Amino acid sequence: MDHYWYQPSSCLRKDRRLLSIRELARDAILSAAKSVILLSSFLDNQPLNKCCGLWFQRDGQRKTALVLTSAHLIRKDDIHKWKQQWTGEYHQNAKVIVHLLDNKTTLGQLIYLQEHYEFAIYEVQVDKPVHLPTFNDRVHSGQDVFRLGRDANLDIKITHGNLAFDIPTRYERCHYMYFLRDASSLKLLHDDGGPIIDLEGKVVGLVNNQIDETFVPSSILHKCFDFWRRFNCMPRLHLGMTFSPIKFLDPICIERMTRKHNIDSGLIVEQVSKESHAEKIGIRKGDVIESFNGKHISTTIELESMLIDLCWDHFDQRKKLNTEKDVSVKIFDATKLCPRIRNLTAIVSDRGEDIVKGAYPIMGEEAMSVL
């Protein structure tokens, strides 16, 4: 009996800095933990990966439930290579076992794989009701949150941190948000697929990279679910570019851009995919995208949300995946130091977007002065 009553060493007990939120956090964690499960995958009868997952939908008549988890569950690549490439090899036929909280196991059937957002949906036969989480789309930088996971014994794992918006590095998707762990928790690496929850126990995102501590915010997940329920897919526009938000630059840089060029928001082009339409119409690294279809975008998460929204009209017109859609973009040319408007042809796709490295001209002094 003693085994069941030992004191776990979670951050809530060890970190005195959390004393002011300890009771609130405890209730939030215990509520959210009911929906967190563990999944394991096998390829050719050999263990592949383990990830956490979340119940998020149940069909009482069919006695099935859907599990949301990280696509890394069925990705074979060396974990250290994930930071060096855009998309990996996913084994959709891998055997997946779902570990239920009553210590029973059942098979999971892959229903949908979203390579770009790096999550997967599995269907599971369940005889009992499952606890569905509540999601929260409204978050702010610096917010207290907890990352939840499960170990091999199905014990809940808890890590405290804060939300952060940041500038993506190469091979990091534009829709990422960041989980900044406490320094005392740096050694606590959990499986991908676990939720990030707020102090009300609501899910604000799904962890998709335990190395960089990145996660997909709930606002993006919601848009994907809505689209999937109506059109049976989760598309977005592929622009052939990556960006850094001006909003997250140092205030010195923002003030300089405003003073010299009257630009205080927008997205700085970081990479342009080789032979993309963006490259063909003259968009280069260092240019600033001020608006898309007349709408000003200040963060890459806002951009990602817009890229999904633009697909609704495309599908309402009975158009299909892997076809083209034109977007009007207002560009501030970092070389000529002047604005221009161009029509950019994007691809509607539910696959992962690869940005092919090209040979771009080095920005001169004038272009560099924009930043």
The Cβ of residue 332 has, within 10 Å, a number of other Cβ atoms equal to 22
pLDDT tens digits, one per residue of 173-184: 656 666 667 655
Q: May I ask the CATH architecture of the domain 236-370?
A: Roll (2.30)
Residues 148 and 158 sit within 8 Å (Cβ to Cβ): yes
Query: Beta strand pairing status for 156-164 and 177-181?
Result: antiparallel
d(CA 332, CA 348): 25
Question: Which of 246-252's residues contact partners 24+ apart within 8 Å by CB, and which partners?
Answer: 246/288, 246/298, 247/165, 247/298, 247/299, 248/165, 248/166, 248/167, 248/299, 249/167, 249/371
**Average of per-residue pLDDT across 156-169:** 81
d(CA 262, CA 336): 15
Is the pTM above the cut of 0.75? yes
**Average of per-residue pLDDT across 239-267:** 93
Q: May I ask the CATH architecture of the domain 21-34+133-231?
A: Beta Barrel (2.40)
What's the fold here for domain 36-125? Thrombin, subunit H (2.40.10)
Query: Beta strand pairing status for 119-125 and 177-181?
Result: unpaired
d(CA 169, CA 90): 23
Cβ neighbourhood burial of 137 (10 Å; 0-12, 13-18, 19+): middle
d(CA 71, CA 121): 9
**Average of per-residue pLDDT across 240-246:** 92
> What are the residue boundaries of the structural domains of the chain, listed by start?
21-34+133-231, 36-125, 236-370
- Least confident piece of the model among 77-81, 193-197, 239-243, 320-324: 77-81
CATH topology agreement for domains 21-34+133-231 and 36-125: yes
Instruction: Judge whether residue 298 has pLDDT over 70.
Output: yes
